[in-house]
Structure 1
Amino acid sequence: MDVDGIAKASGSGDLFLAGEWRAAADGRTYGVTDPATGAVIREVSAAGPRDSAEAVDVAAEALDGWRTTSRRRRSEILHDMHAAMRDHADALARLITLENGKAYRDAKAEVFYAAEFFRWFAEEAVRIGSSFGDAPAGGFRHLVRKQAVGVTAFVTPWNFPAAMATRKIAPALAAGCTVILKPAPDTPLTALAVAGLLKEVGLPDGVCSVLPTDRAAEVADVWFRDDRVRKFSFTGSTATGRILLRQAAEHVVNVTMELGGNAPFIVCPDADIDSAVRGAMDAKMRGGGEVCIAANRFYVHEDVADEFTAKFGAAMASVRIGPGLAEGTELGPMINEAAVAKIWGLVDDAITKGAKVAAQGPTPDGPGWYFPATVLTDVPEDAELLRTEVFGPVAPILTYRDENEMLKRANDAEHGLASYVYSGSLERALRIGDRLDAGMVGLNRGLISDPAAPFGGVKQSGLGREGGREGIDAFLETKYIAVDWPNIP
């Protein structure tokens, strides 16, 4: 199946609603652009409030049939979806690169990662348990059941257009919920492709709808005002998350929020520097740095700072930058022009305040929204770069001497999503890891995401966890039934 064919079965990037490809009710469309060229690659239907309301109607109508489908059958469909995504990995990866810009190798890795959520939650679907026990006072028994929360609505970001969708869709379907997804306006095509594949593997019509739009507030507002929508999950910026949380609170909607990050990457004096550099490249450069768990602040002990900076700088300067689909590309363009302007603003602010460019890669000639891989040193504590999620290939290096002082600096952030520690001592690494204000810690490892592990943060990095055994719990309600049993003492 080619890229266009897998993206949509209809002719023009329509909405996927009630198992069909449809134009938006008011006929509006918007253009999706290729970050490598700035050219529009497809016009996509832009859902509005009427489409959003219909999607809730469709999901509510399909709910009883899906949540009463046997767990085994739900599991089989998810297993089939895992296989389908792997079978079409090349086409999906090309599609991700076209609309997101990331290097093809990163896009291919994302497809396999995204598919794993279907396999993991296919296995979890059949393990949703109930419990039965005696009341201590006697006379009756407790029956505790787990049931699907109901209609769910999701908003996902552009940086992982496949994985951020499947990380929410897979556990919701496994639990027996119906799903409405609003993908990021920059990257709707991958989400439409996922919807098309779900239909191919036998997901009943109406169980999953996908509504691309460039008017997110109007679409989401419908969901918060409809009592049938019982779960809302959002991945994106902390600023947007705060707004959505206020709306959810007004209507008492169950929410999961995966918000921003500002991850510290700590290199201890006993670290294997070559290993730390490899881990730093993984933690910083996967997806061009446009990743919520990307390493944003590098705290390197003074004893090893020169060696780490030299080796890391050489690795960053040699990164091959260019169009994501070009052979050998390691760093593609940023998502759009505004993203590049934001990164330059943060770098210029740091340099104005005294930071120095220790290493920098090239920037390709021609069209596209590129930013070079950059390493900064002597970054002052008042640089905005240290307080803001950079979302790009920029690595500020700061040195430290005292561990306690370093941890105070590392934890001095409103976010607490991910963090990284490199040390030759497991005792030291675990000690530091325990003291970091973060929901996830990589010890001597720069890649930490795993569908079988709980993903999420503390402080203003969000609420709840996705993935792991915890991931399906977010889509289940607990029901307690008191069973009269008078002869039990």
Structure 2
Amino acid sequence: MNIIRAGLLHRHCLFNMDFRQMHLLKNQAFINGEWVCAQNKLVFPVLNPADDKVIAEIPDMDQCDAKIAVDVALEAFKTWRDTTAKERSYILRNWFELCKKNSEELAHIITAEAGKPLAESRGEILYGNSFIEWFADTARHINGEVIPSPWPNKQIIVTRQPIGVVSVITPWNFPFAMITRKVAALMAAGCTCVIKPSEDTPLTALAAAKLAEEAGVPKGVINIVTCSRKNAAPVGKVLCEDTNVGCISFTGSTYVGQILYGMAAKGIKRVALELGGNAPFIVFPSADLEHAADQAMLAKFRNNGQACIGANRFLIHEDVYDDFIKIFKERIASKCVLGHGTKEGVTCGPLINLAQTKKVAGLVDDAISKGAKVELGGKVAKDIGDKFYESTLLLNVTPDMKIYQEEVFGPVAVCLKFKTEEEALQIANSTKSGLASYVFTKELGQAFRMSGKLEFGMVGINDGIISAAEPPFGGIKESGIGREGSKHGVEEYTDIKYTLFSALDK
């Protein structure tokens, strides 16, 4: 099943009738406004993680295809950059309307290749669409400045100009939203792009490109290079080091981000990196425990824990520890339902692949061997499938366990007890990551203190869902550089130009 083979691209015979009728399910890459095969004619299979059935076979492109895509994007940039902000806004609005109209089909594609329940896939489409809508509006508000001049008869003008071709490298956990919040922003700024989606979830990216094509996005503005894991490194090298690339926008692991950052340094390229997290979820005695537990479910088990801002470490004050654990355990037991994403009532699908499953299992097994207590779960639900890991509540976790420091990226809630606010801060900040954090308290002063002292780019006070198109999304320390969403999300793809107008009295 994993054998890459040559041949003409075709939809696999395992498609059911619904899939055959999907006009957005594409099995070719998208370059210069055309649906194309790899030059080498090789393909690779895209698997449904729930049952390992082949959904489609798509082009296994290499560095030659990537170079073509970059050159095409550069050529398109020469004209796209000169379109008016109003025109770009109009095209983005068309793209948004089409994505909204086709949201159900997009959701089914996400569920097929990412495994998440349909309800979550529908939620991702709404979330991803909000970025296209937001940046359609923002396109017309990329403003410059007129700065008072220190000299007579001179005028200082500051403008923002598009940075050029952007390489967009996206992960598998949110295959639609991670593309729209990058691509809509860079298009609004007047840039063009080459997208390399994850080899696990390329079909959603291709579906989004199909709708962009229908929306009137000019040829070459959006290009998608698909490839297997084997070709990911050489394709990534081109997308990071080619002299025609002006910016690398990447969402993924800190490890890969460090590699890409090093490649970008060779050309002093702009980078926008949204990397791994190790989010603390802190519950103080004054918190509403029922509300905190409800929000903990969202912060931890959304997408089965496969989210960079997912709560990783639950820090519970000793005065309410037992009460919170009891409520949280009841929530997990009643609301986490494992199964195939298309089945009614399922809330947690499979992990994306066997490697991820083995990583999660390894972290839990290491913790158990060193004294951690499994309150719920703790193993693969083999009666459902080899990638379905049980929703797990892990107690008595200590610093010598790997799971204490590492991002789990799976359905495992790691619980720790603390005594003082200072201790909670020390534990929360004892990580190289700095993406998201969550605090539950009714004390206003404490909320402000925690917001100021937590070393994270985002802080949610009494809320487990912090993402939206309007606020700036991003982290500090090893969790990344730059912001997505908000007006700052567009500014990432612009250069500031200072122009001095002199001799105005001549």
Shared fold (TM-score greater than 0.5)?
Answer: yes
Mapped pair 1:471 → 2:489: yes
Q: Verify the 8 A CA contact 2:241 2:264 in the aligned structure 1.
A: no
Mapped pair 1:270 → 2:270: no
Aligned equivalents of 2:360 and 2:304: distance in 1? 12
Work out the percentage of aligned pairs sharing the same amino acid.
43
- Paired position in structure 2 for 1:64: 78
Q: Verify the 8 A CA contact 2:45 2:54 in the aligned structure 1.
A: yes
Aligned equivalents of 2:233 and 2:363: distance in 1? 28
Mapped pair 1:190 → 2:211: no
Helix, strand or coil for the counterpart of 1:251? coil
- Paired position in structure 1 for 2:5: none
Aligned equivalents of 1:435 and 1:302: distance in 2? 21
Instruction: After TM superposition, list the pairs within 5 Å mapping 1:298-317 onto structure 2.
Output: 298-317=314-333
- Paired position in structure 2 for 1:326: 343
- Paired position in structure 2 for 1:377: 395
Deviations 1:337-384 (A, max 9, x none): 111111110001111111101123993624351000000111112111
Q: Of 236, 239, 243, which residue of structure 2 is paired with 1:227?
A: 243
1:134 offset after TM fit, Å?
A: 3.9
Mapped pair 1:254 → 2:270: yes
Helix, strand or coil for the counterpart of 2:367? helix
Structure-2-length-normalised TM-score: 0.93
Q: Verify the 8 A CA contact 2:25 2:109 in the aligned structure 1.
A: no
Moved more, 143-152 or 363-372: 363-372
Helix, strand or coil for the counterpart of 1:24? coil
Q: Verify the 8 A CA contact 2:167 2:247 in the aligned structure 1.
A: yes
Q: Verify the 8 A CA contact 2:167 2:240 in the aligned structure 1.
A: no
Q: Verify the 8 A CA contact 1:153 1:180 in the aligned structure 2.
A: yes
Instruction: After TM superposition, list the pairs within 5 Å mapping 1:3-18 onto structure 2.
Output: 8=24, 13-18=27-32
Mapped pair 1:156 → 2:202: no
Q: Unaligned 5+ residue runs, structure 1? A: none
- Paired position in structure 2 for 1:438: 456
- Paired position in structure 2 for 1:119: 133
Mapped pair 1:99 → 2:134: no
Aligned equivalents of 1:243 and 1:330: distance in 2? 35
Helix, strand or coil for the counterpart of 2:260? helix
Deviations 1:455-487 (A, max 9, x none): 110110011111111100001111111112443
Aligned equivalents of 1:427 and 1:286: distance in 2? 30
Q: Verify the 8 A CA contact 1:30 1:43 in the aligned structure 2.
A: yes
Moved more, 272-281 or 359-368: 359-368
- Paired position in structure 2 for 1:37: 51
Q: Verify the 8 A CA contact 1:7 1:192 in the aligned structure 2.
A: no
What root-mean-square deviation, in Å, do the aligned CA atoms of Structure 1 and Structure 2 show?
A: 1.6
Letter of the 1:182 counterpart: K
Aligned equivalents of 1:116 and 1:6: distance in 2? 23
Aligned equivalents of 2:320 and 2:20: distance in 1? 50
Letter of the 1:454 counterpart: P
Aligned equivalents of 1:143 and 1:427: distance in 2? 43
Helix, strand or coil for the counterpart of 2:466? coil
Moved more, 479-488 or 361-370: 361-370
Aligned equivalents of 2:451 and 2:486: distance in 1? 20
Aligned equivalents of 1:7 and 1:100: distance in 2? 19
Aligned equivalents of 1:321 and 1:406: distance in 2? 32
Letter of the 1:30 counterpart: F
Deviations 1:363-422 (A, max 9, x none): 362435100000011111211111111000000111111110121111001101000000
Q: Of 308, 330, 337, which residue of structure 1 is paired with 2:354?
A: 337
1:77 offset after TM fit, Å?
A: 1.0
Q: Of 212, 218, 222, which residue of structure 1 is paired with 2:234?
A: 218
Q: Of 480, 483, 487, which residue of structure 1 is paired with 2:501?
A: 483
Aligned equivalents of 1:149 and 1:217: distance in 2? 24
Q: Verify the 8 A CA contact 2:166 2:191 in the aligned structure 1.
A: yes
Aligned equivalents of 1:343 and 1:425: distance in 2? 36
Letter of the 2:454 counterpart: L
Q: Verify the 8 A CA contact 2:373 2:395 in the aligned structure 1.
A: yes
- Paired position in structure 1 for 2:372: 355
Aligned equivalents of 1:93 and 1:181: distance in 2? 20
Q: Verify the 8 A CA contact 1:55 1:209 in the aligned structure 2.
A: yes
1:3 offset after TM fit, Å?
A: 5.0
Aligned equivalents of 1:161 and 1:334: distance in 2? 14
Cα 1:237–1:157, aligned 2, differ >3 Å: closer, same or farther? same
Aligned equivalents of 1:86 and 1:446: distance in 2? 26
Moved more, 314-323 or 327-336: 314-323
Helix, strand or coil for the counterpart of 1:234? strand
1:288 offset after TM fit, Å?
A: 0.6
Q: Verify the 8 A CA contact 1:9 1:21 in the aligned structure 2.
A: no
1:441 offset after TM fit, Å?
A: 0.6
Count of matched residue pairs: 486
- Paired position in structure 2 for 1:285: 301
Aligned equivalents of 1:481 and 1:47: distance in 2? 43
- Paired position in structure 2 for 1:346: 363
Instruction: After TM superposition, list the pairs within 5 Å mapping 1:197-208 onto structure 2.
Output: 197-208=211-222
Moved more, 243-252 or 354-363: 354-363
Deviations 1:185-228 (A, max 9, x none): 00000000000000001001111001111211111212333221
Deviations 1:60-107 (A, max 9, x none): 111121111111110011111111111111111110011001111111
1:24 offset after TM fit, Å?
A: 0.4
Q: Verify the 8 A CA contact 1:171 1:472 in the aligned structure 2.
A: yes
Q: Verify the 8 A CA contact 2:89 2:137 in the aligned structure 1.
A: yes
Q: Of 25, 36, 40, which residue of structure 1 is paired with 2:39?
A: 25
Q: Verify the 8 A CA contact 2:372 2:396 in the aligned structure 1.
A: yes
- Paired position in structure 1 for 2:261: 245
| Aligned structure 1 segments of 4 or more residues deviating by more than 6 angstroms | none
Cα 1:312–1:52, aligned 2, differ >3 Å: closer, same or farther? same
Aligned equivalents of 1:238 and 1:4: distance in 2? 38
Letter of the 2:339 counterpart: G
Helix, strand or coil for the counterpart of 1:152? strand
Aligned equivalents of 2:19 and 2:76: distance in 1? 29
1:163 offset after TM fit, Å?
A: 0.5
Q: Unaligned 5+ residue runs, structure 2? A: 1-16
Helix, strand or coil for the counterpart of 2:495? strand
Q: Verify the 8 A CA contact 1:269 1:303 in the aligned structure 2.
A: yes
Letter of the 1:352 counterpart: S
